[in-house]
């Protein structure tokens, strides 16, 4: 077998063979030590008649959804050609256990490495296959596919504007998508605004699928979307860490920093993305126009999707989300800011800028813990549907009386 990861969002340091069982090593990030989770690599020269057992090394977190039944994702070029089947879950005999590898950080020996091990059969001989932790959603997918698709639609294009918020360290464009009916003055207008971001942690690709569904809904033809656009404008940063996404990082930017821990004093040179978004939020808050801040993430240990709210805030948004979606977990929703989270976007927008409605939205890499979907993985369609359900929840919360509470949405 041959392994390769030198493509956009790919992540694999090296592979080796031990007793005919491949060992796959992933790079350990020194500045943000606990961030080895994302994998995405190509497999060539496999045989469909053989059961392969793969061991993926260098995971850091002691807990994982692989212990709760999560499976890796496989894409087969030949299978898509023959049947139209794309990314799908595979793997049997899945285990996630500590191993004996050792690492030294700051002179201290660290032993908390973990190995993901699973077996699988490839669907065809000599196929081009890919394995990934979650559905890949690259910078190219956003820029050259989804945003261009929205701009090419004759109706949706009238409801949005796309501009460059800043350049990243690598020179990539950080997109700002403005949605609404009041974008006349340099795209800023005078309407009350919601700021929504995603993908500050590049390995949380499920956040991009949620954002995809959210953008489709907000620019769509529904009555609820029209009323939201009439009442508010939306400033959306759909991919807050493009460099990290391109490099295949799980949590870091090109500078090696967790950008969601840089909000108190972002460096314009090292963290231009956070510096630009914070400056935008501050400008809106000073003009009393910032209504709500929402940052979308993926979660590697919990099920469902849920909100992290800010302490002392009593919000009806989680309850609205629980009414709009069977996937929402009120049990995992929190109403406090822990010590490790004071430098996050949610906390800084709340503490410094005075925006009470400031949230982190987390979505499981596995699936739901409630409703009828307990044993199922989220798929691409259901994650996009979560984005639409978030928009409907915002309608119910911010425009009371516009829509009636309903039975939570069904699994898609």
Residues 6+ apart with CB under 8 A from 242: 139, 168, 170, 172, 173, 174, 273
* pLDDT for position 61: 86
The pLDDT tens digits for 268-304 are 999 999 999 999 999 999 999 999 999 999 999 999 9
Alpha carbons 340 and 336: distance in angstroms, whole number: 11
Answer yes or no: are the C-beta atoms of 258 and 35 closer than 8 Å: yes
* pLDDT for position 281: 98
- Tell me where in the chain the CATH 2.60.40.3120 domain(s) lie: 2-132
pLDDT bracket for residue 25 (50, 70, 90): confident
Radius of gyration of the chain measured on its C-alpha atoms: 21
- Tell me where in the chain the CATH 3.40.630.10 domain(s) lie: 139-398
Share of the chain above pLDDT 70, in %: 87
CATH architecture of the domain formed by 2-132: Sandwich (2.60)
The pLDDT tens digits for 111-156 are 568 899 999 999 999 999 999 999 999 999 999 999 999 999 999 9
Is 3.40.630.10 the CATH number for 139-398?
yes
* pLDDT for position 185: 37
* pLDDT for position 191: 84
pLDDT bracket for residue 19 (50, 70, 90): low
Alpha carbons 314 and 72: distance in angstroms, whole number: 38
For residue 284, the cross-strand partners are: none
Q: How far is CA 197 from CA 169, 283, 361, in A?
A: 19, 17, 10
So which residues are the catalytic ones? Answer: 362
Computed over every residue of the chain, the mean pLDDT equals 90
DSSP string over 215-280:
HHHHTS--HHHHHHHHHEEEEEES-S-HHHHHHT-SSB-TTS-BGGG-SSS--TTT-HHHHHHHHH
């Amino acid at each position: 077998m041959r392994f390769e990861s030198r493509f956009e969002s790919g992540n694999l340091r090296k592979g080796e063979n031990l007793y005919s069982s491949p060992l796959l090593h992933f790079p350990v990030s020194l500045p943000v030590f606990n961030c080895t989770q994302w994998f995405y690599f190509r497999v060539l020269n496999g045989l469909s008649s053989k059961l392969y057992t793969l061991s993926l090394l260098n995971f850091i977190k002691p807990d994982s959804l692989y212990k709760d039944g999560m499976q890796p994702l496989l894409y087969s070029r030949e299978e898509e050609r023959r049947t139209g089947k794309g990314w799908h879950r595979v793997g049997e005999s899945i285990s996630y256990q500590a191993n004996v590898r050792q690492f030294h950080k700051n002179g201290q020996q660290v032993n908390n490495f973990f190995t993901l091990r699973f077996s699988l059969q490839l669907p065809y001989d000599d196929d081009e296959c890919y394995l990934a932790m979650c559905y890949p959603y690259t910078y190219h997918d956003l820029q050259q596919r989804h945003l261009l698709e929205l701009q090419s639609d004759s109706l949706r294009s009238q409801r949005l504007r796309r501009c460059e918020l800043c350049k990243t360290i690598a020179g990539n464009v950080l997109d700002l998508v403005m949605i609404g009916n009041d974008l006349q003055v340099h795209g800023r207008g005078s309407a009350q605004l919601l700021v929504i971001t995603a993908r500050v942690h590049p390995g949380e690709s499920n956040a991009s699928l949620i954002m995809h569904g959210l953008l489709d809904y907000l620019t769509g033809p529904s009555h609820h979307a029209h009323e939201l656009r009439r009442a508010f404008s939306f400033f959306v940063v759909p991919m807050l860490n493009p460099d990290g996404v391109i490099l295949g990082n799980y949590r870091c930017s090109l500078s090696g920093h967790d950008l969601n821990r840089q909000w108190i004093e972002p460096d314009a040179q090292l963290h231009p993305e956070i510096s630009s978004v914070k400056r935008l939020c501050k400008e809106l808050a000073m003009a009393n126009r910032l209504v709500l801040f929402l940052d979308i993430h993926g979660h590697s240990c919990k099920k469902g999707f849920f909100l992290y709210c800010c302490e002392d805030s009593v919000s009806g948004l989680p309850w609205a989300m629980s009414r709009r979606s069977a996937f929402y977990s009120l049990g995992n929703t929190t109403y406090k800011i822990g010590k490790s989270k004071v430098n996050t976007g949610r906390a800084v927008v709340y503490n410094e800028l005075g925006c009470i409605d400031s949230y982190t939205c987390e979505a499981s890499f596995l699936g739901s813990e409630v409703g009828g979907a307990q044993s199922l993985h989220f798929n691409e369609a259901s994650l996009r549907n979560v984005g639409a359900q978030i928009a409907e929840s915002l309608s119910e919360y911010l425009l009371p009386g516009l829509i009636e509470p309903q039975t939570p949405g069904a699994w898609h």
